[in-house]
Structure 1
Amino acid sequence: MTVIKNFRQIRRDGKIIEESMSLDKIISLGWGVEKVIELQWNAGDENISTFKGKYALLGEVVPNRKAVAVLNFLDEKCLNSSLSILDINGKEKIRIENEIFIQGERREGKFSWFSKPKNVLPSIIGVVFELSSDHSMYLIDIDTDTGGFVGEPQIQK
């Protein structure tokens, strides 16, 4: 079975954040704050897949290592984003709209960052969604095989 290996994030200044690097390690290297603009990984032992963003990216390998979840920020201030699930070869297989349903009501906002999911399953990621109306934040578990939400969004305090 082919899985994602050697996931790395390339910052605007060219420095590479390896998947195993902790925030403490990055700080100990004396690196300042800089936006990530490119994601790279190997699909198995062979080809390298790349995804580039114009302004900033957040990427996370799905636990089953068969896909990458990407928050692509669409402006310099990172006020707007899109959430996509890329297959092992870097092709977009799912795009999730910037809206959620809370108690049956459609609410607009943006996906802001990845978080630990409530449901720990191989194809599940956790992502925080910020409502446009009042800036409240919800943790949402997403099944990266289907793009569907798993369970109800939980408000973050």
Structure 2
Amino acid sequence: MDITLQVNGVPRAVDVDPRMSLLDLLRERLGLIGAKKGCDHGQCGACTVLIDGRRANSCLALAVAVDGSEVTTVEGLAGGDGLHPLQEAFIEHDAFQCGYCTPGQLCSAAGMLGEPGPSAVTDDVLVDPDLTPAEIRERMSGNLCRCGAYVNIVSAISEVAR
């Protein structure tokens, strides 16, 4: 099937198998290897990208389902020559160890910062809560880190949220 999409601001027209995941399209066909294939079941978050500004597990999204969408990977997060504020904060706070989950963590955090509303740990669901460490941990719970860098990841995101 022929699809068109914007990937990191660049228009792309590709012919894909209807069964191809967005992750495989990005990595194997477009050479964007930032998003990682961790579990390939949507459980680890290593493949997280932004689809039309919302975070999504690219291993679960079919490429044909994102026809006409705008996809942002970690390679396009900064949008220029410098680093995205989250990337700078991750470096400053040493928010990674092996780095395998880092692209997914960064994309998920970027999407999370734009998501209003309560979460499962919000005390008053009628107000938009502050992004406390508990809120950040809850909202990032779909992104796993095998090395356990969670404390520094939360610190980095907290800095950018302020």
Q: Do these two structures clear the TM 0.5 threshold for a shared fold by scoring above it?
A: no
Task: Tell me the TM-score normalised to structure 1 length.
Answer: 0.26
Question: Taking CA–CA contacts closer than 8 Å with sequence separation of 6 or more, which of the two structures ends up with the larger relative contact order?
Answer: 2
